Amino acid sequence: MTAGLIALIVLIVFLFIIAASGVRIVPQARAGIVERLGRYSRTLDPGLTLIVPFIDRVKPLIDLREQVVSFPPQPVITEDNLVVGIDTVIYFTVTDPRAATYEVANPLQAIEQLTVTTLRNVIGGMTLEETLTSRDSVNSQLRAVLDEATGRWGIRVGRVELKSVEPPRTVQEAMEKQMRAERDRRATILTAEGVKQSQILTAEGEKQSAVLRAEGERTAAILKAEGEAKAIETVFNAIHEGAPDQALLQYQYLQTLPQLANGDANKIWIIPSEFTSAVSNLTEQFAGKAKPKPKPSSTMDEIDERARRDAEEAARAAAQATQEAESATSQVGTSPAPREIPPAPPVPGA
């Protein structure tokens, strides 16, 4: 092998290496920035491209897909002077590789710092309760500010989310106590409403029971009154149909007197003047001094004999009551009001 052949082989290899260095393959969803002699030349699109070796230089490829960046918790002061730690998550996309390369030195750091300052401005005008319940509003405000600021950097912010909001430990304990008290209050209200409903139902039941009981008592009283009226009417009709004479009435009168004398409170009795006449009339009638009547049967004789004995016993009881009344009047200066005995029925022929 001669020296000329070796030099030719070396030249071919050198030319191949130079040609290979001028070929670039850009993957899908990537973009390359080409600098020629230190100045921006063009942007490489996905696919096979050629560059001038030793003159053109390709910077690191830029990812054109949507990227997600989570920033560490940042201390933020709310309107009510509480320090809370807020984690944020940002979704962004590079829309202009040239601006993203030459307009900002560190896009991620710039986005992080812009997010922190914007978040402090937004949260500083809200209370803790509004911060916890108005995440959508905070996200919208952050996205609007960041999208406007990063537009000239060739970056579009798609979404901004508050990952977590951590209030101080003391505030968390107070919030837990408040929530526990609220749940206890709701439980107490529900219990009170249940007791109230139970008492209402019980009262309605008692009312209906009392109404039904009163209706039953009214019906029973009406039936009882009707029965008593019927009984009185029957007795009245029986008495009138039997046509009792004066002797029977005076006999019933004498039988009632011993019953009136019973009782511890009966001290003084006033014997009516008709009493002696009633006794004498009964005695005369049953002894045969009255007008002659047809001879009664043996049963009537027994009834007359019993009536005569009752009359004699009533007379003796009346005489004894009269003596006791006189003795009680002599012993006691002021005696209670005397109980008056009803007069006897009129004697026939008197």
CB-based contacts of 86, cutoff 8 Å, min separation 6: 73, 74, 76, 119, 123, 162, 163, 164, 165, 166
Neighbours of 49 (CB within 10 A): 17
Q: What is the dihedral of CA 303, 307, 308, 314, to 10 degrees?
A: 160
Amino acid identity at 225: A
Whether the CB-CB separation of 114 and 160 falls below 8 Å is answered with: no
| C-alpha–C-alpha distance, residues 184 and 181, integer Å | 5
Helices 246-261 & 274-287, crossing angle to 10 degrees?
A: 130
What's the start-to-end Cα distance of the chain, in Å?
A: 193
Neighbours of 272 (CB within 10 A): 16
Helices 135-150 & 107-124, crossing angle to 10 degrees?
A: 140
Report the greatest alpha carbon distance in the chain. 200
Q: Between 3.40.50.740, 3.30.70.920, 3.30.479.30, 3.50.50.60, what CATH number should domain 66-167 receive?
A: 3.30.479.30
| C-alpha–C-alpha distance, residues 348 and 109, integer Å | 140
Amino acid identity at 275: F
pLDDT in 10s for each residue of the chain, 350 residues: 577 788 888 888 888 888 888 888 889 989 999 999 889 999 988 988 888 888 888 888 999 999 999 888 888 888 888 888 888 899 999 999 999 999 888 888 988 888 888 888 888 888 888 888 888 888 888 888 888 888 889 999 888 888 888 888 888 888 888 888 999 999 999 999 999 999 999 999 999 999 999 999 999 999 988 888 888 888 777 777 766 666 666 666 666 666 666 655 555 555 555 555 655 665 665 555 444 444 444 555 666 677 677 667 767 776 776 676 666 556 544 444 444 444 544 444 43
SS3 content of the chain, % helix, strand, coil (to 5): 60, 20, 25
